Structure 1
Amino acid sequence: MAMKRIIGTSIALTGIVLGLSLVPTQAQQSCFLEGANGQNIDLGHLCGNGDSNTSQPTASPQVGVFTVPIKRRHSGIPVVDVTFNGQHTFEMLFDTGASGITVSTDMAKTMGLKSEAQGLSQTAGGVVSIGLSTVSSVQAGELTSSDLQVAINPSLPIGLLGQSFYGHYDVVIKQDTIELHTR
């Protein structure tokens, strides 16, 4: 009889402890209003974070932040996928020291780009002659820009994604992604 009472009490206490651990606290509710009687009113559906009664808040994308996945690194520089005109995707260096977008002659040929003008470019290897063209769109990760000028550099084995694409954003380079924050 005493053993049944101990087991019954243990089960009841376990049920109370487990039941209390499932009740969300104010710290777990990220969006609530305290009513006149002191009761919390869940406003999760208004705050855009889904069901705030769960202990794990639902992640929502940050407004004004665009991410670009890093595929790998070349000499420490992030390599990202860049899509031109919605149809041609190439690996390019995310070059924070480049003022514009530069593609190789092979990339330009694949896209069917023709030089509209000629110019000179100061590179790490010296001054080189380049062709200039325009693309209708450039996309990297979640960010797309329209009507951008690109340089066609015959001496590059890989393209450079430079400031003309992301220069009006604050850039945060992380381990596996690049974040572009609207200023």
Structure 2
Amino acid sequence: MTSNKKELSPERREELLGALKARFEKNMHRHKGSEWAKVEAKLDASTEKMWSLNEMERTGGEPDIVGYDKKKAEYIFNDCSAESPKGRRSVCYDLEGLESRKKHKPENNAIDMATAMGIELLTEEQYRTLQQLENFDMKTSSWVQTPSDIRELGGALFCDFRFGHVFVYHNGASSYYGARGFRGSLRV
């Protein structure tokens, strides 16, 4: 009988924990007041969340803690790579956008990739909050969750950081560019 459980080998798990701890310690400005021992205890208790963090890491997201939800007692991880994660670029917004393309279809779409990874695309608000920690996407852009009324009309939203400001733009959901990917969020 095969297991559908998403878990890492012990070796990969230790490698990932080492990378996460090093990033955590190097970037304390992102999570002032957090203690690694408490974070690690939460991670130890969540095999599937570790798998999702590994997917974020594997695709170039460089996940790190950017907040803590006191009510739910959850750490919030976001992709903190300087630019949109390389392993998640050149994708349409969602499956409907992908399927509507007649020619030159990319291999995937942001919504399905995020779902498969066990993460969610950032909202515009989350994206703006992330940019308050440091500047991201100064050369790339990232799809963000799009309100249903915009999506029903064929559009999708993306953000970037230029000229000292966060910009929110729109494109057709079927569009894709080599410099556009998506950033994810995961609660642990």
* TM-score in terms of structure 2 length: 0.25
Q: Which of the two has greater strand per residue?
A: 1
State the structure with bigger RCO (CA 8 A, min sep 6), 1 or 2: 2
Higher helix residue share: 2
Q: TM-score under structure 1 normalisation?
A: 0.26
